Amino acid sequence: MIKDNTKTVLKHPTKALNYGKIISVRGSVIDAYFEDSLPAVFALLHAGEHQEIAIEVLSQLDDKTVRGIALTPTQGLSRGMQIEANGQELKVPVGKRTLGRMFDVFGNTIDHLKPLVEGEKRNIHQAPPPLNKRSTQLQVFETGIKAIDILIPLERGGKAGLFGGAGVGKTVLLTEMIHNMVGKNKGVSMFCGIGERCREGNELYHTMKDAGLLDNMIMMFGQMNEPPGARFRVGNAALTMAEYFRDDEHKDVLLLIDNIFRFIQAGMEVSGLMGQMPSRLGYQPTLETELSALQERIANTETGAITSIQAVYVPADDLTDPAAVHAFSHLSATIVLSRERASEGLYPSIDFLQSNSKMATPGIIGERHYQLAQQIRQTLSLYEDLKDIISMLGMEQLSTADRLVVNRARRLERFLTQPFFATEQFSGVKGEVVSLKDALDGCERILADEFKDLPENAFYMIGNIDKAVEAQQNNNKNHPEEEAQSLKQS
């Protein structure tokens, strides 16, 4: 690979080159004619003055013509120009040398640091692990985030979806999970940005660098301004890098994809450019096939596991949209983010009644955890039903039992918020990782009305439940007249 001052130029071996000519250029879609042998599907073609324009073959139109999608901008291409194929597919570097670096879909570093050390490269198109190599043991993946570990336990080697519209906290939650995975579990994190804004990639890179987490993390971006072909393939490229650590290094990998909807959207653009008949709402007819080809590679094997958490943008917050429906079918857990909770300042803004996990059964998480989770859901559900009465008639019209339910629910809602490391610089509150045991103990004590005399705000943005008692004691020391008034009223 040769680098000049402006761009990266790929230099290919002269042997086994197959030359053809471009016969059509329609945006990102290129038709090419080959006299001798026809390139295979997924083969990479190169054209342009320095062979800097990469095109992936997607279909063979006849015995002499192929149609491909460009992975780079096509400015400067015209009919009759020479195009070459070397019989290879798109490859990306793998191995420990990729840790701490940021890549594009071609495996080129984009972090302005020294060039990557030469080493092994692998095709981005790989078969999923066969069934006989997959692990059949179900294990819980602890995130250190109370709300998720208690109510929506994630599966090690499974896929969890993070559903929500714009601005409800998907990226912040993903960033926090990276922090906890690298900091607590000492695993490898792979962040794949599909259709991300360059601002978000830049912020994430510097956040991870400042937190000292970059050494065990890899980032790959197919930015929003790149052609749909690049955004469509960046997920496969990131998975190839993650599979190396699972299969060769025998490590657990946390793969975060932000945003899987952009992958579907890129596929929709590619499908339209290739002239395929659109399906419902304009989606590609091959939506399920393309999504499955990516998702089936994320698996728990005998040697290691790739646990994936995927942000899923939901168009217009409509969970019946085909993109959301097809994504649901691959997931073992769904975390639905609520705009209403976000507006109330309850972060992470998870809608506990819409979110669910297939791991939340007594046989997997244990009887005590299961019963507690059911109690919490029941309490929050009853509170949801009582909200209309409270808004119209006030708390005074509720029965004593219903008031207790409301008090428990409001304290649970606030206890299930948590200060994040990812937002320290904005909130000024130090982030915390909470163990599952401490989280369960706190919820159990709230449900037993142990803290019914403490104000609701004492439970907001704390880690362990003991912090609520400490906060109230400190408040009483600072405001003794308020404590006296409270005791008088009681």
Q: Give Cα 15 distance to the centre of its chain.
A: 41
Beta strand extents in 94-231 (DSSP E only): 102-103, 121-123, 140-141, 154-155, 159-164, 188-196, 217-223
Residue 26 CA to residue 272 CA, distance in Å, equals: 12
Beta strand extents in 302-432 (DSSP E only): 306-313, 333-336, 356-357
Residue in 233, 197, 240 with CA at minimum distance from that of residue 28: 233
> Catalytic annotation on 197?
yes
Beta bridge partners of 311: 162, 258
Residue 401 CA to residue 379 CA, distance in Å, equals: 12
Instruction: Determine phi and psi for 485, rounding to 5 degrees.
Output: -65, -40
Catalytic residue, candidates 196, 243, 290, 432? 196
* Amino acid in position 215: D
* Amino acid in position 21: K
Helices (H), 429-479: 436-447, 466-478
Catalytic residue, candidates 197, 368, 387, 430? 197
Residue in 298, 336, 316, 319 with CA at minimum distance from that of residue 170: 336
> Catalytic annotation on 196?
yes
Residue 484 CA to residue 486 CA, distance in Å, equals: 5
Only one residue has tokens 């490590």, namely: 251
Give the list of residues 6+ apart from residue 131 with CB closer than 8 angstroms, or none: none
Residue in 340, 176, 349 with CA at minimum distance from that of residue 258: 176
Catalytic residue, candidates 159, 170, 231, 408? 170
What is the enclosing helix (H) or strand (E) of 382?
Answer: helix 367-393
> Catalytic annotation on 288?
no
Give the list of residues 6+ apart from residue 248 with CB closer than 8 angstroms, or none: 94
Tell me which residues are annotated as active site: 170, 196-197
